Structure 1
Amino acid sequence: MSYDKVKQATQLIIGMKQTLKAVEQGMVKEVFVAKDADPKVTGKILQLCREKEVPVEVVDSMRQLGKACGIEVGAATAAILINE
């Protein structure tokens, strides 16, 4: 289950802007995108991940992704860093 991967990660990036920046810099091992996030927000990250060949896992909800990240609010995206 992908939420377990997120919970166990020690080097986690949460949020769209930080995830985008980390993927652009080639620092990301895997990206998680919430299915219920705004496609205008997630489209850019999905496109970039395809270009950079970074694996993407779509998860059910922003709320659950945020919870897995250990935050009280929803998260549209999260990423696990390569040097994890």
Structure 2
Amino acid sequence: MHRLKTHQKVVGAKQTAKVLENNQAEVVYVAKDADERVVRRVLELAKERNVPIVMVETMAELGKACNVEVKTAAAVVIK
């Protein structure tokens, strides 16, 4: 997850989905404890577009890895 701090990224499920829709995603990170309804679209888009999905244990851990102060359900590294 070190790439999240050094690469250009987008944080949040809605924004992550937009990056995936625009075919700009390199890798997607999804928190295992995120609400399924929140991350469902992100997971579907990533699978459709063959973007690697990295599952992270908690939203708090993913938020910290993204260098944001809030819990995060999903994040994406941009190509």
State whether TM-score is above 0.5: yes
Deviation at 1:76, TM superposition (A): 0.3
Partner of 2:60: 63
Cα separation, 2, equivalents of 1:17 and 1:61: 18
Q: Which runs of 4+ in 1 moved over 2 A?
A: none
Q: Map residues 4-83 of structure 1 onto 2, 5 A cutoff.
A: 4-9=2-7, 11-82=8-79
* Superposition deviation, residue 7 in structure 1: 2.1
Unaligned runs of 5+ in 1: none
Count matched residues.
79
TM-score normalised by the chain length of structure 2: 0.94
By how many angstroms is 1:42 displaced? 1.0
Partners of 1:67 and 1:6 in 2: CA distance: 10
RMSD of Structure 2 on Structure 1 (CA): 0.8
Matched to 2:4, the amino acid is V
TM value normalised by structure 1: 0.89
SS in 2 for 1:22: helix
Q: Which amino acid aligns with 1:7?
A: K
